[in-house]
Amino acid sequence: MNETTDAVHQDWDPRAESVLDDQIAAYDAMRSRCPVAYSDYLQWSLFRHADVKRVLEDHDTFSNAASRHLSVPNAMDPPEHTRFRRLIEPYFGPGPMAAFEPHCREIAESLVARLPESGEIEAMAELGQNFALEIQCAFMGWPTGLHEPLRDWTRRQHAATLAGDRQALGELALEFDGVIRDLLETRRAAGDAAPDDVTTRIMNETVEGRALSDEEIVSILRNWTVGELGTISASIGILMRYLADHPQLQARLRGEPELLPPAIDEILRIDAPLMSNRRRTTRPVEIGGRHIPAGERLTILWGSANRDEAVFGDPDAFRLDRDPEDNLLYGAGIHVCPGAPLARMELKLFMEALLADTVQLKPIPEKPAVRAKFPAGGYSAVPLRVTR
């Protein structure tokens, strides 16, 4: 096909009910039928592992600057990205992770302890969302009084996203930024008495010898928080549903909790908590047999690339001996998720607490899990029966 034909031909409809009802199954089908597909909604979608890896590793051709708004450092390219990445990475280093671990473990154990002795739960609302809210506010040093406002904001933001309501999304973005700015002002007013936490430390950072602007600070904190709330919550739902459906693996992990780190990564490879990211072409390029002009938007579909048969064989086969370099759960290349150490620690500690304080997780046949709709991954509801 030539570029003009490619640019107008609709290869698929990402918003079709058949796609939204089960994104994973739909992406599996697209990976073999049309691995680089065009749509008005997402422009160019990439389904194959090799194509995604190529994009991740060639940041000169495939730019991260795909947002209309300041996004630090997510939507930046080198050298600007490098400067901010150097500032951010130490927050997720071994020292800060070790210091936060006891508090993280306490939150996980406290949350699990609130479960009923026996009965039905909805894992997303009762555990996934609660854990994400509590753990993220604790990491940032934010007050517990923000838990419910953030829960309500997340609900409204998700509804506006599904509805494609740009005006509402813009208003919600301003609302969230206002919450962060209030936190910054509170710390500035406290002066030397401001808490020594992640938020205060970010406020005092410099880049190339200058102080960060409030816009940059807000962007960093927004990206950390919004991304964390969605992906950690989705991950909890996916993990609990998978173990409920696989009682032999559940029993093995109860007896061998040291296997949790690779098991968690493998389950989240099979069923992605984060569905997509964006890139933009800086020059004309051919990928997957398609000719793509400069300035086009690409949608990387993690939920497909991490299930590519060319790399993983049977994508649904759970294996603990896979090469971790193949798993794109946290991305790859210079934009690999800086918060991966924190996310891995949070999920490990949560699952340790859950498996240690329960005897059994079981699905409820008459109440099946409900898949989340794009751009969310995982599930919107995971009813389970728990025995402690």
Task: Tell whether the model's pLDDT for residue 1 goes beyond 80.
Answer: no
- pLDDT bracket for residue 228 (50, 70, 90): confident
Task: Tell whether the model's pLDDT for residue 275 goes beyond 60.
Answer: yes
Residue type, 60: D
pLDDT, tens digit, for every residue of 70-121?
899 989 999 999 999 999 999 999 999 999 999 999 999 999 999 988 899 9
Task: Tell whether the model's pLDDT for residue 8 goes beyond 60.
Answer: no
Averaged pLDDT score across all residues of the chain: 94
pTM over the 0.85 mark: yes
**Dist CA 158 CA 151 (whole Å):** 11
**Dist CA 13 CA 64 (whole Å):** 24
Give percent of the chain with pLDDT exceeding 90. Answer: 88
Pick from 52, 59, 54: which is nearest to 305 by CA?
52
Cβ partners under 8 Å of residue 222, min gap 6: 176, 177, 180
Crossing angle (nearest 10°) for helices 130-140 and 214-245: 150
**Dist CA 8 CA 56 (whole Å):** 26
| Residue 68 confidence (pLDDT) | 79
Residue type, 203: M
| Residue 195 confidence (pLDDT) | 94
Task: Tell whether the model's pLDDT for residue 162 goes beyond 90.
Answer: no
**Dist CA 291 CA 274 (whole Å):** 27
pLDDT, tens digit, for every residue of 181-203?
999 999 999 999 999 999 999 99
Give percent of the chain with pLDDT exceeding 70. Answer: 98
| Residue 283 confidence (pLDDT) | 97
Mean pLDDT for 42-56 is 97
Task: Tell whether the model's pLDDT for residue 9 goes beyond 90.
Answer: no
Crossing angle (nearest 10°) for helices 260-270 and 214-245: 90
User: Distances in Å between the alpha carbon of 77 and those of 56, 87, 98, 224?
Assistant: 12, 15, 30, 18
pLDDT, tens digit, for every residue of 330-383?
999 999 999 999 999 999 999 999 999 999 999 999 999 999 998 899 999 999
| Residue 29 confidence (pLDDT) | 97
Domains of the chain: 3-387 (1.10.630.10)
Tell me if 178 sits within 8 A of 222, measured CB to CB: no
Task: Tell whether the model's pLDDT for residue 7 goes beyond 80.
Answer: no
Task: Tell whether the model's pLDDT for residue 2 goes beyond 50.
Answer: no
DSSP H helical ranges for the chain? 3-8, 17-21, 23-33, 49-57, 80-88, 94-113, 123, 130-140, 147-163, 166-190, 198-203, 214-245, 247-255, 260-270, 302-305, 309-312, 340-356
| Residue 5 confidence (pLDDT) | 41
Mean pLDDT for 275-298 is 96
- pLDDT bracket for residue 6 (50, 70, 90): very low
